[in-house]
Amino acid sequence: MSKNIETLRWNVDHLEMIDQRILPADFQYITYDSAASVAEGIRSMVVRGAPAIGCATAYGVALEALTLKNTSSEEFLKGMEDAFVVLQQSRPTAINLFWAIDRMRSIMNENLDLSSNEIADILLKEAHKVKKEDIEINRAMGSFGAELLQDGARVLTHCNAGALATAGHGTALGVIRSAVETGKKISVIADETRPFLQGARLTAWEMVRENIPVTLISDNMSGHLMSRGEVDAVVVGTDRVAGNGDVANKIGTYMVAVLANRHNIPFYVACPLSTIDRSIASGSDIPIEERPTKEVTGYKDYQWAAEGVSVRNPAFDITPAELVTGLITEKGIVYQPTSKKISQLFDS
């Protein structure tokens, strides 16, 4: 298997996505040919991670347009509106999903004078562009972020913000990969990330296959390691950053940020501009997905929790901006983010 992970790829007339639910035991692509099937792939976590969800969404829109390419413009537009709705309903927290829909919808609207066939081609080209740009953005974040890590740094990360969560390279793991590429010796501490185990299954897999030293811990061990001086920096990804710099990321991130603050360890968030939602003033307005209780009560078909117990399963939490040392973006680092600094970033 090549070193580069192609989380999603276009194959002649359909989309293929790595089935992240079965990694690392099995490596398999699943084929998608409509917006509804892509929405189901997002909902069921075949593809996950905010930027990868954005790319999948763009392809979902293009696939639907290709299906409708021989229809009248009324039928085409009606079909496309249905596609936007079905994609919008797949997962609520990652803003990249809504960002990709807005981007594809405006391209469509700019070309309404063309035939359905021509619009479909333009939308497919745009989806390829979203994917290509994602990798370039990750590379740019990587070079800014790499400078923040000292040679020999032990970097804790939560969830998977790697190549699998993007079109390639990764956001938080992209920073680590870029630092390694500059010759720094970086070792990774991967939180296992209960309950879906993205850290144990995906981050550990990505790092092991590239020979980047990685140590797996369960989520409740990070405080202990920090208190012993065994963590030099935290780098995580994000699903949505509010206008004031509050960060939504995988459940458990807030806990890590509080601990990092307690131990004076820098806490960085790798964050493409497409993940910043300036329409939302603060983190309390970010919708938090509640996932099936089965993810907490057991794994696959095995249940370890007592039958009848009530369960909560919020998939994300909010880390207040005051706990964020810096947002690593493709335009540079925003230290101690505030509304003002974020506005300036967009204006620069």
Sites of contact with ligand MRU (CB under 6 A): 48-51, 94, 159, 161, 165-166, 171, 198, 237-239, 249-250, 315
Nearby residues of 196 by Cβ (< 8 Å), 6 or more positions away: 45, 291, 295, 315
Rounded to a whole number of angstroms, the minimum distance from the CB of residue 90 to ligand MRU is: 11
Rounded to a whole number of angstroms, the minimum distance from the CB of residue 115 to ligand MRU is: 37
Return the number of the residue (94 or 119) whose C-beta is nearest ligand MRU: 94
Is 277 among the catalytic positions? Answer: no
Name the token pair of 100.
């990709």
Rounded to a whole number of angstroms, the minimum distance from the CB of residue 202 to ligand MRU is: 8
Return the number of the residue (118 or 136) whose C-beta is nearest ligand MRU: 136
Residue appearing with tokens 């939560």: 158
Rounded-to-integer distance, Cα 163 and Cα 172, Å:
9
Q: How far, in whole angstroms, is CA 76 from its chain's centroid?
A: 30
Distances (CA, A) of 312 to 200, 205, 315: 21, 28, 9
Residue number with the smallest Cβ distance to ligand MRU: 237
Return the number of the residue (123 or 286) whose C-beta is nearest ligand MRU: 286
Amino acid at residue number 289? E
Please say whether the beta carbons of 181 and 239 come within 8 A: no
Please say whether the beta carbons of 233 and 179 come within 8 A: no
Rounded to a whole number of angstroms, the minimum distance from the CB of residue 292 to ligand MRU is: 12
Catalytic residue among 239, 246, 277, 317: 239
Return the number of the residue (108 or 163) whose C-beta is nearest ligand MRU: 163
**What SS3 class is residue 75?**
helix
Task: Give the H/E segment covering residue 267.
Answer: strand 267-270
Q: Beta-strand (E) ranges in 87-232?
A: 154-157, 187-191, 214-217
Rounded-to-integer distance, Cα 162 and Cα 167, Å:
9
Rounded to a whole number of angstroms, the minimum distance from the CB of residue 154 to ligand MRU is: 19
Return the number of the residue (40 or 121) whose C-beta is nearest ligand MRU: 40
**Mind telling me the catalytic residues?**
239
